[in-house]
């Protein structure tokens, strides 16, 4: 039986980060069996799990691993210093569903940065 969130999603984010490192995490991803695995525009690997908590909430745990990312790409530690080590982000997203349309949105607070994330289902799995 497929996971209720399975499908293709458009991922968009807005951050209050004002530093010199360019964010390149937006794009498309597929949730398959409640998990994703995708490379962003910087070739940083994102793996995420999605656990439905209620009819209106989803827990998301994402690990960004820049090991294969572009040589000039770095992530930030909670203290704001740059790193090439994996970083884990956790949040509770609001879940809105109507028939096959799904949207998850929320905030990721990490260190001093706040990111607003929206994931909108754009189609079924291929």
Region of residue 18 (left: phi > 0; alpha: psi -120 to 50; beta: else): alpha
pLDDT for 25 equals 74
Q: What is the pLDDT of residues 11-50, one digit of tens each?
A: 998 888 766 556 667 889 999 999 999 998 889 999 999 9
Q: Identify whether the C-beta of residue 44 lies closer than 8 Å to the C-beta of residue 87.
A: no
Which residue range is the domain that position 116 belongs to?
Answer: 7-123
Helices (H), 15-119: none
- Is 1 a domain residue? no
pTM of the predicted model as reported, rounded to 2 decimal places: 0.90
- Is 26 a domain residue? yes
CATH number for the domain that contains residue 76: 2.40.128
> What is the tally of structural domains in the chain?
1
- Is 2 a domain residue? no
Q: What is the pLDDT of residues 68-109, one digit of tens each?
A: 999 888 888 999 888 999 999 999 999 999 988 999 999 999
């Amino acid at each position: 039986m497929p996971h209720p969130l399975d499908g293709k999603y458009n991922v968009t984010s807005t951050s209050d980060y004002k530093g010199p490192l360019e964010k390149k995490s937006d794009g498309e991803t597929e949730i398959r069996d409640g998990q994703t695995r995708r490379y962003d525009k910087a070739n940083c690997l994102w793996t995420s799990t999605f656990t439905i908590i209620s009819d209106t909430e989803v827990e998301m745990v994402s690990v960004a691993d820049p090991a294969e990312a572009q040589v000039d790409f770095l992530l930030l530690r909670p203290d704001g210093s740059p790193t090439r080590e994996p970083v884990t982000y956790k949040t509770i997203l609001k879940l809105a569903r109507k028939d096959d349309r799904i949207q998850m949105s929320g905030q990721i607070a990490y260190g001093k940065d706040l990111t607003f994330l929206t994931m909108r289902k754009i189609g079924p799995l291929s």
